[in-house]
Amino acid sequence: MGTLFIIGSLPAETALQLARKLKGRGERVILVFRGEGIRLSDRPGFDDETAFADGVYILEDGGRSGRARPAKAIGPHELVELMEACGRVVSWT
């Protein structure tokens, strides 16, 4: 189980703070960035900023190029699987 954060808008600092707090309580935390939220992966320090998470993913929905990213790219099917595997889903859109 755990909590899945789907981050699709900026700013996302509040969502990341909440995710860090849950992780600090021993919960499993997964981050998925989509839409505008993907821009966070272009920021310097993205790896350090998200290192606390148990998984960090970029939702490939055809809206962005396939260039190399620091997070694993997933499609809609994988997103559904993550949603089913987590006890809670937080959508930051």
pTM: 0.88
- What lies within 8 Å, CB to CB, of 58 at 6+ separation is 32, 33, 34, 38, 41, 64, 69, 71, 72, 73, 74
- In the chain, where does DSSP find H-type helix? 13-24, 46-50, 76-85
Q: What is the pLDDT of residue 41?
A: 87
The predicted-structure confidence for 9-40, as pLDDT tens digits, reads as follows 888 889 999 999 999 999 999 999 999 999 88
Query: Does position 63 have pLDDT exceeding 70, yes or no?
Result: no
Query: Does position 64 have pLDDT exceeding 60, yes or no?
Result: no
Mean pLDDT value of segment 81-93: 93
> How do beta strands 3-7 and 55-59 pair?
unpaired
* Domains of the chain by residue range: 1-8+19-68+89-93
Q: Is the peptide bond before 11 cis (omega within 30 degrees of 0)?
A: yes
pLDDT-based confidence at residue 66 (cuts at 50, 70, 90): very low
User: Distance between CA atoms of 20 and 51, rounded to whole angstroms?
Assistant: 10
